[in-house]
Chains A and B, each alone.
Chain A
Amino acid sequence: MIAFNRFKLENGLTVLHHFDPTTPMAVVNTLYDVGARDESEEKTGFAHLFEHLMFGGSVNIPDFDSPLQRAGGESNAFTSNDITNYYDVLPVQNIETALWLESDRMLSLAFTPKSLEVQRNVVIEEFKQRYLNQPYGDVWLELRPLAYKKHPYKWATIGKNIQHIEDATMDDVKAFFKAHYHPANAILCIAGNISLEETRRLVDKWYGDIPASLKPERILPKEPVQKEYRELTIERKVPSDAFYYCFKMPERKSFEYYVTDIISDALGREKSSRLYSGLKKELKLVTSINAYITGSMDEGLLIIDGKLSDGVSFEELDAALWPLLEVIKKDLMSEAETSKLLNKIRTVKEFQEQGLLNRAMNLCMYELLGDANGVNEENNLYQSITAQQMKVVANQLFKKENTSLLRVKSIKE
């Protein structure tokens, strides 16, 4: 159970407070309700580039990191297709430094040309390091546009084209800030050995005077229901053939999201899972296989990926995979298997609650979904899932016309 308080400032900032007297550290977590899905198709990669610029100095403070380090703390951030999340971890006695820094960059950035210039280069190197210079590194750049035709999930957070980053102008950057970085579009969580009163006082002091803006309305192109089987084969200089089966799955806020999550666990999370034991251990068709979900806010993907054993064809794999998916559609899952999957979820949950930062991030994430208390209800929600519900959802997921398959064909150097 993660206890918390919630209050809202007049300018629209939502604040969560989580009291933990057992730790000498404090966390200041800020979630902005903006991700790559909010970009225009001509300017992709912006949410992520912007995350980098948030460390390049704010309107009153030339450098973000040094004061935080001077306070014994450190900071980082991540961008997804849905959100951008910033966090600071520091000794609790110095928490005000984090609030000073975070509030100033919510107020406004410095927007120096040097910062834009350098971070553009850094992001280009990140693009190379993660996507171009790794075997199989670019599959997500191919997979997304295969699975999505209209919805902005069709591009990756890094951007669909490095050219978009190269072309970013200061005006673009400023417009992005104005639209998405303001109190009404943020959720702040303060966690640690700090009272609610002190939290209120400090938050009022540092965030109270930040001008309000209207929360941007999110009108995204809706992804049409997929009605046809899609496949794409790309050739790459990689050692083995790899496959990525994607199945459209329900959005984050639906109950079926949790059911799909469990189904993916049943198929390919662990070394006792159905696909691992069937396709790797028994039939030896693959050297690795996993099933997982993308965890997206809007309609997401359940993905089954892996690498073929040498000498095995994509067709052989396909012929062996579908019958296993048919089983999960046809037969009710045994009680033993269901309880195995739910037990694992319980363990994960318990370990996740271990860390202060995790707790703060999860509270913000659930608040974005509608109610921070969802973090405390999640486990019960999972535990309530029945075999019948899994069967129903499996039938919606594993249809040929709901499938996009990417094959990476290995070619020699």
Chain B
Amino acid sequence: MNMRTMQPETKQVDHISFVKPQIFDVTQHVKLLWMKEVPNDTVRLDLFFDAGITRGNKSIPAIVHSLLLSGTKEFSSVEIHEKIDALGGFLDTDISFENAVVSIYCLREHIRQISNIVADAIQGLAFRETEVEDVLRSMRQQFAVNQQKVKYVAQQQFRKYLFASNADYSTISEESDYDEPAVLAYKKYWREHYLEGLTRITLVGDLEVDEVDALIDLFGKWAVDGKVQHAGDFKFQAQRIDFPKNDAVQCAVRMGRFLFPKSHPDYIDFQVLNTILGDYFGSRLMSNIREDKGYTYGIGSGVMDMNKTGYFVIVTEVGKEVLDLTLHEIKFELERLQNELVSDDELDLVKNYMLGQLLKSADGPYAMLDMYNSVDMYGLTLEFYDDAIQKIKEISPARVQELARQYLNFEDFLIITAG
């Protein structure tokens, strides 16, 4: 028999060693998570702030976020970056719904100095007039570019209509946000959300304990006072809204609905359903809409975690002429999951795949810290993953169908198209 026609024997992943980071209390509500075992000299430090885009209007969260390293009374932004660059450090900043993050990447011999530079820059932020103008100019232009991207428009409008019941979450950027500097408002926001807004610190790097203590002393003064509150219980209307763009050759689609937070008992089982539907290369949506029909370069689905809730979303960009056919096929795939049991063969494949991915997500100190952080942020522990392994192994086709019937009704979705 030809050995090439038979897959070699495979073994399902049965054990994953999850490593818990060391945890330091910065204050009662703010902790530092530290992964020390790193086989080389690299260090990553992340500062999390209660300064996500839902924490203010008129794009103020994003503007202040962009201004963080823009200069103090003493040093210009170029001088600050010059000092960090001289130490071979890299800065990365990111802003999402409910968080803003400032990250430092460097070699361990420089973490102390670079941290001092970053701390001084944020603490002494002077909102220099020319720097504010420069940031607004750049952001206004970026805004205009983004408006031409159907993907971006769909994403923004999806947010606007999904979170319609809460103005903080649903207000999207407008061009006028960048017209006139609102320095007083920026300053207020910076004081409240950065100088008193640190929510956690994560650290990966082979440092000494006293270096970690020094980082806590340095940044701990920014710790939030008390527990951060987040919104939940959002209401939206299931409907389809099209945002036409005449010269577009593709349409971007975003469709979805609210689900539940990560702590919900259905969370893991739903991840299995989500994977089958749209979260890996062999998913139903990819197999049908890309690999069978060739309507798109890519289509996927996922669950977005938030503090008080979470939402499910399907994302794609398709040829304009096949938009309706694509929506029809998405509906078809949702209904197929509701009406037909998934085969044992397909379910086994997805189980193996998910366990393999889980193994990969825990591989190495950087991945492991992120993995830990992504449960700890929502008040969960590593038990979440042990539980996940069990649930993935045990889930039945009937349970998959039950969840599809409960959560994947096409009629319950908000559908946004742009293009």
Contact = CB atoms under 8 A, between A and B. Distances in A.
A89 B360 contact: yes
Contacts of A214: none
A61 B5 contact: yes
B249 A104 contact: no
Contact of A240 (B9, B144, B292, B319): B144
A237 interface: yes
B318 A125 contact: yes
Interface string A66-102: 1101111111000000000000011101101100100
Interface stretch (B154-162, B222-230, B348-356, B376-384): B348-356
Nearest to A63: B282
Nearest to A242: B145
Given A135-B149, A271-B81, A347-B107, A72 B319 contact: no
Nearest to A66: B282
Interface in A200-235: none
Interface in A91-150: 91, 93-94, 96-97, 100, 104, 107, 117-122, 124-126, 128-130, 132-136
B248 A133 contact: yes
A351 B81 contact: no
B42 A350 contact: yes
B184 interface: no
A353 B290 CA distance: 34
Interface string B140-151: 011011011110
Given A23-B364, A69-B353, A271-B78, A354 B42 contact: yes
A72 B357 contact: yes
Given A134-B149, A350-B42, A61 B144 contact: no
Contacts of A93: 10-11
Interface in B335-375: 348-350, 352-353, 355-357, 359-360, 363-364, 366
Interface string A256-296: 00000000000000111000110011001001100000000
A254 interface: no
Contacts of A251: none
Contacts of A280: 134
A142 B42 CA distance: 40
Interface string A1-33: 000000000000000000000111100000000
B42 A281 contact: no
A340 B85 contact: yes
A97 B88 contact: no
Nearest to B296: A125
Contacts of A310: 137, 141
A82 to B, nearest CB: 23
Contacts of B232: none
B141 A240 contact: yes
Contacts of A284: 130, 133-134, 137
B297 A72 contact: no
A73 B7 CA distance: 14
B8 A96 contact: yes
Interface string A351-387: 1011110000000000000000000000000000000
B282 A71 contact: no
Contacts of B353: 69-70, 72-74
B309 to A, nearest CB: 29
Measured as residues with beta carbon below 8 angstroms from the partner, the interface class of chain A is 35 or more
Nearest to A94: B10
A130 B39 CA distance: 38
Nearest to B37: A22
Contacts of A351: 42, 105
Given A69-B353, A71-B352, A125-B318, A23 B86 contact: no
A120 B317 contact: no
Question: Interface centre among A72, A75, A97, A284, by most B CB within 10 Å?
Answer: A72
Nearest to A351: B42
A253 interface: no
Contacts of B137: 284, 287, 309-310
A310 B133 CA distance: 13
A163 interface: no
A122 B148 contact: no
Contact of A60 (B2, B11, B291): B2
B370 to A, nearest CB: 13
Given A133-B317, A135-B149, A72 B352 contact: yes
B118 to A, nearest CB: 13
Given A67-B7, A133-B150, A239-B144, A121 B295 contact: yes
Nearest to B143: A239
Given A271-B78, A307-B141, A121 B10 contact: no
Contact of B87 (A288, A343, A353, A354): A343
Interface string A392-413: 0000000000000000000001
B293 interface: yes
A238 B107 CA distance: 41
A339 interface: yes
B7 A97 contact: yes
Contact of A125 (B90, B130, B294): B294
A238 B317 contact: no
B250 to A, nearest CB: 5
A292 to B, nearest CB: 16
Task: Label chain B's interface by main secondary structure.
Answer: mixed
A340 B82 contact: yes
B13 interface: yes
A100 B8 contact: yes
Given A23-B364, A125-B297, A340-B82, A239 B39 contact: no
B106 interface: yes
Interface string B238-253: 0000000001111000
A135 B281 contact: no
B4 interface: yes
B323 to A, nearest CB: 12
Nearest to A100: B8
A336 B192 CA distance: 38
B266 interface: no
Interface in A30-75: 59-61, 65-67, 69-75
B278 interface: no
A396 B149 CA distance: 39
Interface in B22-62: 39-42
B10 A71 contact: yes
B173 interface: no
Contact of A122 (B41, B145, B294): B294
A346 interface: yes
Nearest to A58: B4
Question: Interface centre among A100, A126, A239, A240, by most B CB within 10 Å?
Answer: A239
A344 interface: yes
B293 A69 contact: no
A193 B248 CA distance: 49
B89 interface: yes
7 contacts: A65-B282, A70-B349, A72-B10, A74-B353, A288-B138, A343-B86, A346-B107
Given A25-B359, A71-B356, A72-B13, 5 more contacts: A67-B7, A117-B294, A133-B419, A135-B149, A350-B41
Interface of B: 2, 4-5, 7-13, 16, 39-42, 69, 76-79, 81-82, 84-90, 105-107, 130, 133-134, 137-138, 141-142, 144-145, 147-150, 247-250, 280-282, 290-297, 317-319, 348-350, 352-353, 355-357, 359-360, 363-364, 366, 419
Going nearest first, the 10 A-B pairs with the smallest beta carbon separation are: A72-B356, A121-B294, A343-B88, A239-B144, A96-B8, A272-B82, A60-B4, A271-B81, A272-B81, A126-B297
